[in-house]
Amino acid sequence: MADKLSAVKGMNDILPPDSARWEALEASVRDVMRLHAYRNIRTPIVEPTALFIRGLGEVTDIVEKEMYSFEDRLNGEQLTLRPESTAGVVRAVVEHNMLYEGPKRLYYMGPMFRHERPQRGRYRQFHQIGAEALGFGGPEVDAELILLACALWRAIGLRDVRLELNSLGQPPERLQHRAALIAYFEQHTDHLDEDAKRRLHSNPLRILDSKNPAMKALNDAAPKLLDFLGSESLAHFNAVKAILDANGVAYTINPRLVRGMDYYNLTVFEFITEQLGSQGTVCGGGRYDYLIEQIGGKPAPAVGWALGVERVLELLREQGAQSSEVVPDVYAIVAQTDFLPQVLPVLQQLRAMGVSVQMHAPADSAAGMGSMKSQFKKADSSGASFALIFGADELALGQVTVKSLRDGQGAQRSEILADISHWGHSLQSPL
Ligand code: ATP
Ligand code: MG
């Protein structure tokens, strides 16, 4: 046998039965997005590297050290596996002139790639679900997006995620704060770690986003952006808070919350849990009113969030959420391979009625279908509610035996194949 190959470090296979949790989450997302009139967008996984450098900012964790970038071997183009999706969505919106007809509410789901140290809740291929509202400048859409996330938590039964809120103000306010921040950190240069020293003059706000616990005390005492906001920025922030209050959404203000990308302004927020150790942020987002322009579009405001699917599912599991097992309604037991041409159309008819059917099939066709006993065993372990038994006697009479596998008694009855439209539906489990 050839050597075994394994998946790339930090990139996970999602296997059954666990994949059922993913499907359930995705189904809830589709429902909640439809209820809020957000429509699906799907953009490529590979984008020009320049999109992320321009979009996320040169001095960010992602662009500095986390991107999977490579050169197209034919034309030398610099390409990157997307580390997040907002930049790609904005590129698509600009490229297809989507805001021409008015603002857009969009959502996406898919894999993202970041070269990080793999640990619980932190992978190199991970998945995000995100919502973006483009072309809206008012605080009510910031609030709508937060309420949308809360609706999703309710729909999937997620508890105990707390909302943190901050405002990053507008560029002139940021500039004033930046000067104060540099002055402050310059007084404490011996307490700065390597990243912070490097970022002191290039992007001091990023120092506040540090994951280094040794930087915490220093960051906690740093000048707060909130204290530099002018009246317009404050009014926007207060309006978002008022809508959340009116909707009974609890939050805390975290003046230290800056988020990992440079594109944010005004409202930023994170949903955080204490139940996942240090990878506690399950969802983060905010307003990015200057990104569209930066990516070459006509200036337009926008706001959005992204959640980490692995973290959300891990938290659900941590909270004891059960996933419903995916089992067929019916397991078809077929006495001989040469009955299959006659049996298959019956199974197709059942499926067309919404009955899920697993057909017994031999691993090795030379060995035939196997004994009825071994087929019954497989039917039992499949989790199906019923076995349909296609034996020689049944088929000779144009009949099939329906045996209940879950009632404890194994009740059996005969049904006429020609009358399938009458009894077929009774095999379907209630959804
Ligand atoms: P963190 O501070 O944990 O590194 P981040 O600020 O880099 O997160 P965002 O870029 O805001 O994260 O992405 C939104 C969400 O995606 C995060 O809140 C998290 O749930 C998830 N996420 C980000 N990076 C990873 C990763 N490497 N593995 C798994 N999930 C991730
Ligand atoms: Mg990160």
Statement: residue 12 has pLDDT above 90: yes
Say if 11 falls within a structural domain.
Answer: no
Token pair 């978002």 is found at 240
**Cα–Cα distance, 256 to 219 (Å, whole number):** 8
**In this prediction, what percent of the chain has a pLDDT beyond 70?**
100
Q: Do 161 and 275 lie in a common domain?
A: yes
Statement: residue 59 has pLDDT above 70: yes
Q: What is the CATH number of the domain that holds 96?
A: 3.30.930.10
Q: Do 267 and 336 lie in a common domain?
A: no
Say if 214 falls within a structural domain.
Answer: no
Ligand 1, residue 66: give the atom nearest the CA: 27
The structural domain count of the chain equals 2
What is the distance in A from the centroid of ligand 1 to the CA of 282?
7
Average pLDDT over residues 367-384: 94
CB 16 within 8 A of CB 322: no
- Does the CB atom of residue 283 touch ligand 1 within 6 A? yes
Q: What is the CATH number of the domain that holds 397?
A: 3.40.50.800
**Cα–Cα distance, 252 to 273 (Å, whole number):** 13
pLDDT, one tens digit per residue, over 139-189 is: 999 999 999 999 999 999 999 999 999 999 999 999 999 999 999 999 999
Q: Do 281 and 382 lie in a common domain?
A: no
**What confidence score (pLDDT) does residue 13 get?**
98
**In this prediction, what percent of the chain has a pLDDT beyond 90?**
91
pLDDT, one tens digit per residue, over 334-345 is: 999 999 999 999
Q: Do 281 and 346 lie in a common domain?
A: no
Statement: residue 430 has pLDDT above 80: no
Q: What are the CA-CA distances from residue 248 to residues 150, 153, 242, 361 (Å)?
A: 11, 15, 10, 55
Q: Do 397 and 291 lie in a common domain?
A: no
Neighbours of 37 (CB within 10 A): 8
- Full strand arrangement of the beta sheet holding 46-48: 46-48, 78-81, 68-71
- Does the CB atom of residue 84 touch ligand 1 within 6 A? yes
- Residue with the bigger pLDDT between 277 and 251: it is 251
**What confidence score (pLDDT) does residue 278 get?**
87
CB 267 within 8 A of CB 142: yes
Say if 323 falls within a structural domain.
Answer: no
SS3 107: strand
Q: Do 304 and 355 lie in a common domain?
A: no
Say if 4 falls within a structural domain.
Answer: no
Spatial CB neighbours of 325, under 8 Å, sequence gap ≥ 6 = 17, 20, 383
Among residues 268, 296, 318, which one ends one of the domains?
Answer: 318
CB 284 within 8 A of CB 270: yes
CB 111 within 8 A of CB 13: no
Q: Do 73 and 93 lie in a common domain?
A: yes
Say if 202 falls within a structural domain.
Answer: no
Q: Do 140 and 58 lie in a common domain?
A: yes
pLDDT, one tens digit per residue, over 293-336 is: 999 999 999 999 999 999 999 999 999 999 888 899 999 999 99
Ligand 1, residue 84: give the atom nearest the CA: 10
Residue nearest to atom 6 of ligand 1 (CA): 260
To the nearest 10°, the Cα dihedral for 133, 134, 135, 136?
20
pLDDT, one tens digit per residue, over 194-220 is: 999 999 999 999 899 888 999 999 999
**What confidence score (pLDDT) does residue 326 get?**
87
Q: Do 32 and 140 lie in a common domain?
A: yes
Say if 402 falls within a structural domain.
Answer: yes
Question: 312, exposed or middle or buried, with CB in 10 Å at 0-12, 13-18, 19+?
Answer: buried
What pTM does this model have? 0.93
Statement: residue 120 has pLDDT above 80: yes
Among residues 284, 318, 352, which one ends one of the domains?
Answer: 318
Q: Do 157 and 84 lie in a common domain?
A: yes
Say if 372 falls within a structural domain.
Answer: yes
Say if 286 falls within a structural domain.
Answer: yes
**Cα–Cα distance, 184 to 205 (Å, whole number):** 12
Please provide the average confidence, as pLDDT, over all residues in the chain: 95
- Strands (E) in 160-308, as ranges, are 162-167, 252-253, 265-272, 281-287, 302-308
> What confidence tier does 366 reach under pLDDT thresholds 50, 70, 90?
confident
What is the distance in A from the centroid of ligand 2 to the CA of 416?
61
CB 304 within 8 A of CB 129: no
CB 20 within 8 A of CB 324: yes
Q: Do 76 and 154 lie in a common domain?
A: yes
Ligand 1, residue 306: give the atom nearest the CA: 14
Among residues 256, 287, 318, which one ends one of the domains?
Answer: 318
**What confidence score (pLDDT) does residue 431 get?**
61
Q: Do 363 and 300 lie in a common domain?
A: no
Average pLDDT over residues 57-70: 94
Ramachandran category for residue 49: left, alpha or beta (phi over 0 → left; psi -120 to 50 → alpha): alpha
Statement: residue 228 has pLDDT above 80: yes
Statement: residue 23 has pLDDT above 80: yes
Statement: residue 407 has pLDDT above 90: no
Statement: residue 286 has pLDDT above 90: yes
> What confidence tier does 261 reach under pLDDT thresholds 50, 70, 90?
confident
Q: Residue 109 sits in which domain range? A: 18-169+229-318
CB 325 within 8 A of CB 20: yes
- Does the CB atom of residue 63 touch ligand 1 within 6 A? no
